[in-house]
Amino acid sequence: MTKLFIGQIINTHGIKGEIRIKSDLTPIQKNEIFKIGTNLIIDNKKYLITGYRQHKSYDMVTFDGFNNINQVLFFKGKKVYKDRNEINLNSDNILDSELITYKVKTIDNLDGKILDIEKTGVNYKIIRLLINKKQVLVPYHKEFIKNINTKDKEVLIKLP
């Protein structure tokens, strides 16, 4: 099983066992990841999602068998993961936590790797690369990200 990082539980919400998750996912990714009837992984244990909604910038989730605030308090501060086999996203919606594991090729035929993907604004990200022992920042934009090959786990990048 390959676990992908989704976000972190910030707090509980209300008294009926709902938890508040902070994530940097797009709306399309959220619809796929928080599907009712699928699982989230917390502390290497699977929890079945029985309810999901968005509230402000948070993802509000309820789990099967948890219907009281006292039952979910222990989740506070925990990291949330999803089994890669339960996610069906195309290459346009790949999760950052999965993309970080991909190899990098530049159009100039240099090899590299992704060190980090940083969110710098509401819908703006920067990819931190390591190429020829130097760190390079590249905007996460179709002008620079030429191709994401999910089969070979490789990203083709045009350096600025």
Closest CA to 137 of 151, 127, 125: 127
- Mean pLDDT for 107-113 is 94
Closest CA to 157 of 95, 137, 38: 137
Contact (CB, 8 A) for 37 and 29: no
Between 142 and 60, name the one with better pLDDT.
60
Residues in CB range of 160: below 8 A, 6 or more apart: 138, 139, 144
pLDDT tens digits for range 30-39: 999 999 999 9
- Mean pLDDT for 53-70 is 96
In which band, very low, low, confident or very high, does the pLDDT at 122 lie, cut at 50, 70 and 90? Answer: low
pLDDT, averaged across the chain:
93
Q: What is the pLDDT of residue 24?
A: 87
Q: What is the pLDDT of residue 11?
A: 97
pLDDT tens digits for range 88-103: 877 678 899 999 999 9
